[in-house]
Chains A and B, each alone.
Chain A
Amino acid sequence: MTTASVTHPQGVAALFRTCRVTGYQVFTPVQKLIVFQAVAAVLSLATGGTLALLMALTRWEAVGLLPPELYYRFTSAHGTVMLVFWIVFFEVAALLFGGTILINHRLKGVAVAWTYTWMMATGAVLTTVMALSGHANNMFTAYPPLVNHPLWYVGILLFAVGALMACCHFVVQLWTARKEGVVAGPFSLVVYALLAAAIIAIWTLLHGALAYIPALLQSLGLITLDPAIYRTLFWGFGHGAQQINLAAMVACWYALAALTTGARPVNEGLSRLAFVLYLIGINMGSMHHLLVDPGIGMHARIINTSYFMYAALLGSLIHAFSVPAAVETAQRARGHVKGLYGWLVAGPWREPGFSSLMISLIGFGFIAGVSGVLMGTMQLNMIIHNTLFVVGHFHATVVLGTTMAFMGLSYYVIPLVMKRDLALLGMARITPYVYGAGLLTLIAGMMLAGKNGVSRRSWDATYSAGYLQVDTLSTPIITFANTLIGIGALVAVTGGIMYVLIMVGTVFFGRPSETPNVGRLGVVASPAGPVSDVTIPEFDHAATRAQAPGTTVAVFVFLGYFVLMFAWAFFNLSRVGWGIG
């Protein structure tokens, strides 16, 4: 694929500019769309982060900030704003980016794109206003018979339909790029990964409609929902959404590895196979939320919860090897060959893109991935379900993993698309560390609390206002865990504020530049060739493929840790002592 050979129709060519950093042909009308979606994402993150701080300061008994009603109201709003709006706005920005700039393609249907962008924005505002005004206090899940205000459902459905249109638009973009010869050969791995995310998203958003349309009808008093059926449909949306995040996060990993170290996939075919594995049984993961529900048979539980023998886990285990191996191979090719991990030590740790990548990769693997498999093991779920451990797990997946990776990518995409220098570069260098340290503390506190019986979604961890007292919930270790959560949230929110300042600063006040300062760019990004301040030497792909001994050792250490955690979890289950069955 060579850019020079791409000829755009007459009149359209004038709308392109060539990025002087990466060499990409940028269809200029798409820039505003990408920035709009990204700003909406960052505003959602800022809103959700503010709520997070208020919630954490409530659960930390020493502070006890909010009364119960406000705590439940803000918890409900936080879940929706973060898990749906921040994530999906950013993902749609990534799809618009991947469906145009990354393949040097024009956006066909700019008006359509603005239509769904405004649908999403309107829906997000409506839903958030309804939640913050106390009309949707029933958590992100809103399990019937509890129902939210009808307008809350109207808002989230409007958003979901808009997002669905955006995903379909991306698929159409790839199709027309192929048809018009803009892309002749295979798509790049990152675009391929985004396609996997889009396919999962289409399926997931359809489930969202299947759950929320009947829920809207119930909130209008027209029908009565069966709680078990709603739960199954809802988690087809709620869990599927996390698999979109997973695929999009791994797409960001590959992109960041290329941007920061010039890494090439060590094995294109295997990495692509791993994304196909993510697609197998997309909606099986909804079972993770139903493992201790009545009404489901044993085989249905086991086969679904494991994505049929852990097909999706196998995909992640492949990425766990190939992402660090790609970085290691590139680093070694550049001369960092000392010992097993000299390449890692010599990594560009001052680049926010690289530190975000590494924190996301290691945090996701060791904390999020392993805890997720433990929770999704049918019997182990009994000692985890609805405890704060679950909340610790998904803050590891969706915040330490996905959000960190999205942040990492935005340090590049936003300045390049805006043609502005990254604002506050010095602060950007430490932001991933501040955010990561806060999250690790928060997640450790949540997991420790949950393991000791503290439930999620409760204003009072000790249930001290209950008619019958539960003394075992008032222990020093639980107080300590809740304190960790409070302190972790404070630090993480500080990191979040730093990130928002950098992004808002870049978008509105960044110094205009044709070659924005985004730090070191190990770009091998464009066929037109990198125009960056660091050139990474080409190397022989086939000959260097196996040159990742550090990664090979690391993945086996990881596997050993995984086995230990699994054994330890079953040991903990057996220590319950009581017979259950």
Chain B
Amino acid sequence: MSSLTAPHARYLSGTSRDERLWLLFAVAWCLVLFFAMYVWQAIGNQKTPIESYRIEPAEFRALTQDYIAAYRIGDVQGIPLVTPTEDGEAFLAARAFAFEPVLQLKKGESVRIYLSSYDFQHGLSIQPLNVNFQVLPGYLYVVNLTPTETGEFGLICNEYCGLGHHTMTGRIVVVD
């Protein structure tokens, strides 16, 4: 008999000592992997954002434009530079092929970012942190960020969104 031939009718014949030892550790490791996600989500500093809502792309666009008009403090190469609201809220929009606006955040201050898309699916990738989120039109994803260092952080789109995909960038500026 082999893997290619049929076993004897009774093949459930117990396990050897080595197999039992391996199974014990394997099951234990599976449980560690499982509960690690709950533990990190409770006590870790980098939690997966969960909060999200449905929103029409047109409505999100209007809200973002209103926000930019109200909190604009300048420009970066012609793109609005905007601070969060007094309540620490900000909108970040993805569209083919740019992120807008450029957000100016304060080091150590938490900001509640409302992330969505005007048109296609996009990917928000914050560089060089290499932190990545999916951006879907029709869905508002609430991403809380607390910057811990100052500087300029590049944004790139990492979900294919059309032939100009590799030109889709943006920026977050963190100041003291």
Q: Which residues of A contact B (CB under 8 A)?
A: 1, 68-69, 72, 102, 137-139, 141, 143-146, 183, 185-190, 226-228, 231, 254-255, 257-259, 262-270, 272, 290-298, 301-302, 305-306, 309-311, 313-314, 317-318, 321, 325-326, 373, 377-379, 381-387, 451-453, 455-460, 463, 465-473, 523-527, 541-542, 545-546, 548-549, 551-552, 555-556, 559, 562-563, 566, 570, 573-574, 576-581
CB-defined contacts of A309 to chain B, threshold 8 Å:
30-31, 34
Q: Cβ of B4 and Cβ of A379 under 8 Å apart?
A: no
Minimum distance in angstroms from B19 CB to a CB of chain A: 6
Quick one: closest A residue to B23, CB to CB? A318
**What is the total of A-B residue contacts with beta carbons within 8 Å?**
342
- A559–B28 Cα distance when bound, in Å, is 11
Quick one: closest B residue to A473, CB to CB? B127
Q: Within 8 Å of chain A (Cβ to Cβ): is B139?
A: yes
Q: Cβ of B138 and Cβ of A310 under 8 Å apart?
A: no
CB-defined contacts of B36 to chain A, threshold 8 Å:
377, 566, 570
Q: Cβ of A466 and Cβ of B168 under 8 Å apart?
A: yes
Q: Cβ of B131 and Cβ of A580 under 8 Å apart?
A: yes
Known interface pairs A455-B156, A470-B154, A527-B5; A576-B46 also in contact (CB < 8 Å)? yes
Q: Cβ of A264 and Cβ of B1 under 8 Å apart?
A: yes
- A290–B50 Cα distance when bound, in Å, is 12
In-complex Cβ contact of A227 among B132, B139, B141 (8 A): B139
Minimum distance in angstroms from B138 CB to a CB of chain A: 6
- A143–B37 Cα distance when bound, in Å, is 28
Q: Cβ of A255 and Cβ of B4 under 8 Å apart?
A: yes
4 smallest A-B Cβ distances: which pairs?
Answer: A470-B154, A466-B169, A579-B146, A294-B52
Q: Cβ of A228 and Cβ of B136 under 8 Å apart?
A: yes
Q: Cβ of A302 and Cβ of B139 under 8 Å apart?
A: no
Minimum distance in angstroms from A521 CB to a CB of chain B: 11
CB-defined contacts of A137 to chain B, threshold 8 Å:
163
Q: Within 8 Å of chain A (Cβ to Cβ): is B145?
A: yes
In-complex Cβ contact of A265 among B3, B22, B127, B158 (8 A): B3
CB-defined contacts of A378 to chain B, threshold 8 Å:
37, 41, 48
- A548–B128 Cα distance when bound, in Å, is 46
Q: How many residues of chain B have a CB within 8 Å of chain A?
A: 94
In-complex Cβ contact of B132 among A139, A266, A385, A524 (8 A): A385
Q: Cβ of B4 and Cβ of A72 under 8 Å apart?
A: no
Q: Cβ of B37 and Cβ of A379 under 8 Å apart?
A: yes
Q: Cβ of A258 and Cβ of B3 under 8 Å apart?
A: yes
Which of A72, A272, A298, A385 has the most chain B CB within a 10 Å cutoff?
Answer: A385
CB-defined contacts of B140 to chain A, threshold 8 Å:
294
Q: Within 8 Å of chain A (Cβ to Cβ): is B65?
A: no
- A387–B157 Cα distance when bound, in Å, is 10
Interface string of B122-158 (1 = CB under 8 A from A): 0101011111111011111101111111000011111
**Could you say which of B9-17, B66-74, B85-93 contacts chain A?**
B9-17
CB-defined contacts of A305 to chain B, threshold 8 Å:
37
Known interface pairs A458-B166, A466-B168, A580-B131; A302-B16 also in contact (CB < 8 Å)? no
Minimum distance in angstroms from B132 CB to a CB of chain A: 4
Within 8 A of A (CB), among B76-92: 76-77, 79
- A556–B156 Cα distance when bound, in Å, is 41
Sample 10 A-B pairs with CB under 8 A, ordered by A number. A72-B165, A146-B162, A294-B115, A384-B132, A471-B154, A525-B5, A556-B25, A576-B130, A578-B146, A579-B45
Q: Within 8 Å of chain A (Cβ to Cβ): is B176?
A: no
Q: Cβ of A302 and Cβ of B38 under 8 Å apart?
A: yes
Q: Cβ of B52 and Cβ of A577 under 8 Å apart?
A: no
CB-defined contacts of A141 to chain B, threshold 8 Å:
160
